[in-house]
Structure 1
C-alpha cells in the first residue's frame, strides 16, 4: 500500500510537470499567433489604405519608416522586413523589447519559405528561461503580389511561469507527504490488526513440541479465514497427542525388542568358544595321558570363564539401565587376550603381543568380549580364503593400550562403511548385527575408541584404543 501511494505520487508529479510544460508551450504559441494575426492585419491595412507611396518592394522601408515602431510597441513584437531575396529593409529592433541580428536571411530560410505549402515558417527556441517564437511570411500588395518577407519575433520570459510551477510542485509535495504519512499510519494499524491473530498462531506453533502437552488456540475475535486456520491447528494438536502416545508405546516396545536381540546376540558369542572347547576336549581326551589333569583344568577354566560372561550378561539383563556394567580391576592384558584366543584353536590366528606384560584397569569379561567379537568376525570374513590369516597385535602407547585385529578376508564394501557400527546392520546371512555396536558402546564407556580400515578383496583391520586407567 505504501509503495503504491509513493509510486502514484511520483507518477502524478511527473505527469503534472509534463502537462504544465506542454500547456505553457501551447499558450505561448497561441499568444504569439494572436499577436501575429493582429500585426499582419495592421500591415495589410497600412499597405491598402494609409500609404501614399506606391506599394512595391523598393518603398517598403519608406512606408514603414516610423509606423513599424508603433506596430511593434502595440503588439510587443520584433518586426523585420526583408526583400524577396532576404536582404534586410527595415527592422524595429532598435526600438523593440528584444534585439535581433540585422543580418540578411539565410538562403535556406528563403528557400524553405518558398517551398512551404502554407508559405509560413514557425520556429521555436528557448534560452535559459526565455522562449522565442519566430514566424516568416510573405508581404503582399493590394493585388496579392509578393513584395517582401515579414519576420515577427515574440519573446516570452518564462521565469514567472517556472516560479509558479515550483510553488505548485512544493504545495503538491506537501499534500503527497501528508498522504504518505497517513498511508504509513493506516497500513501499520491495518497490518497490526490483521496479523495480530496470525502472530498468536505463529507463537503457538513455535511452542509446539512432540513430547510435551501443547495448548490449543482460543481467539475471541477473528476473521473466518483465521478461524479456519485455528480450527486446523487445534485439530492437529489433538492428532499430535494421539500420535505421541502411540509413538511412546512403540518406542518402549522397540527398546525391549532391541534389548532382547542384543542380549541373545551376546549370549551366542560365548557359546561358540564353549562348543569349540568341548569338541576339542572330546577329540583330544586321553585318560592315560599323564598331563590329563592339567588339560582338564585348562578346559574347565575356559568353560567357566565363558559361563561367567553369560552370567554377567544375564545379570545385566535384569538391570537394563546399567548394561553393560563395568567391574574395573587390574589385569594383565597380554595373558588375558592369549587365554581368550586359545579357545578358538585356529592356526590362522596369530597372536603378536609387543610387550611381555601389560597391566591395565579394565573389566576382564568386557575385554574378552571385545576381542572375541572382533576375532569371530574376522574368522567369518576369511572362511572362504585358501590361506586365511588373522593377526592380533597388542601395543602399549603412552597411557593407552592399542589392540589391532586384522584379516585378509573379503573386506567391507565402500557403500556400507558408514553403517558398520549401526545396530541391526550386518553383511552376513545370519546374526542380528549387534556385535560391533555393542562393543563400541563398551569401548566408549572407557572413553576409548574403535576404528577400522578396509579394502575390498584385501582385508580389514580394526583398531581398539583403551586407556590403562
Structure 2
C-alpha cells in the first residue's frame, strides 16, 4: 500500500472511531439519563399514589369520627359498621390499634388478623415522626415489594386516639414493571441510532479523508515556477473550506511573487544599465569642456568667421553636454532612490501642499475623511503625486478643458489614492508597458517617472494599477497600508 494511502487509511479509521466513540458515549449518556429519570418518576408516582390512597382512607375515618368528641374506647362502637363500608370503598383492609399498640377493630374477622399487637419499634417510629410510618417487605408469593402504612388517627380536637394500619397497602414493583417496559423501547431506539451512526460515521470519514488526500496531492505539486497552478473548487462551508481558501490564497501569492520576482530581475538589470550609462556618459563631459575651452583659447581672432565658428561650436558642445547630463541624472536617480524617512502625516494636507505647484490646472481633491493619517516618507509621497498629476496634465486633450480628480480614501487600515483625468487616454497596446523602464508615450522624457512611482509604491507593500479608455482619459489607483 502506498504511504499516502496508508496514512489516509489510518486517518479515516481514527475519524471513524472518533465519531463512533462520540456516538456510543452519547447513546450511553442518554440511556443512563433516561433510566434515572424514568426510575425516579416511577418511584415518585408510586409514592404519590400511595400517599393519595392513604389520605383518602384517613379522610373517610376522620369524617366518621368527626360528629362527636371521641376517645380511644369509643372507636369500636362508632366504627363498628362503618369500617366495612370504608374498607370496601377504598378496597383495602383496615386494622385499628390503641395508643399502646393493642388491637381494637378491623374490617376482617378478628381470627384472621395475624398481628394483634403493633411492634414496639413501629410505635416508637410513629411517635418520633408524629404522622406516619411505612413498612417495606418483600412478598415471596407476589414476588414484589409491598409497602404497608401505619398512620395516626385523631379526633375532632386533634388529639391522638389510635393507630391505623393498612396491611399490604402498596405494590412498588408494578410501577417498576412499567418503567422496565419503557426502558426496553429506549434501548431498541438507541440500538437503531448506533447502527445508523456506524454507517453515517463511515461515510463522513471517507468523504473527509478523500478530500484531504485530494488537497494534499494538489499542494504537493506546488512549484514556484509553475504557471498552471489551479485553485481548488470547494463550496462547502466547513473547516476544509478554510484550508481551501488558504491554498487558493497561497497560489495567488505565489503568482504575485513570481511576477514580482520577474519585475525585480528586470528592474535590477535596468539599475545596472542605469549605473553603466551614468558612468559612461559622465566620463566624456570633462574632455568635451576642455576641448571647447582650448578651442576658444587658440582660435585666430583675425579670422573673419571666427565668431560664427566659436558660437556654433559652443552651442553644439554645450547642448550635448546638457543632454548627456540630463540623461545621466535621470538614470542615476532611477538607479538609487533616496533613503526613506517615514513619519506620520496628514495625507489630505500633504497632497494639497504638493498640488500647489499645479496652480494653472483644474485639479479637484476629494477625501472620505477630513483627516487621513498615514506613515510614509514625505519625499516619496511628493514624487508619487507629482509624477501622476504631471502625466495627467500632459495627457490633456485639445478639444476639451482638462479636469483632474484626486481622490483620497481610507478603508479600514488601507489607503487608496486615485488620480483620474479626462485626457487622451492610453491605447491598449501601451497600457501593459506603462510601468516598464525607459518606456514613454510622449515625444520627450526618459520614461522613468511611472517606473519610479511603481517602485516607491511597492517599497511600501502597495500596488498601483491603471485603467484607460482612448480619448476618454485614464485612472491610476494606488493601494497601500496606512502603516499605523
TM-score (structure 1 length as normaliser): 0.40
Q: Which structure would you say has the larger RCO, counting Cα contacts within 8 Å and 6 or more residues apart?
A: 2
Q: Larger Rg: 1 or 2? A: 1
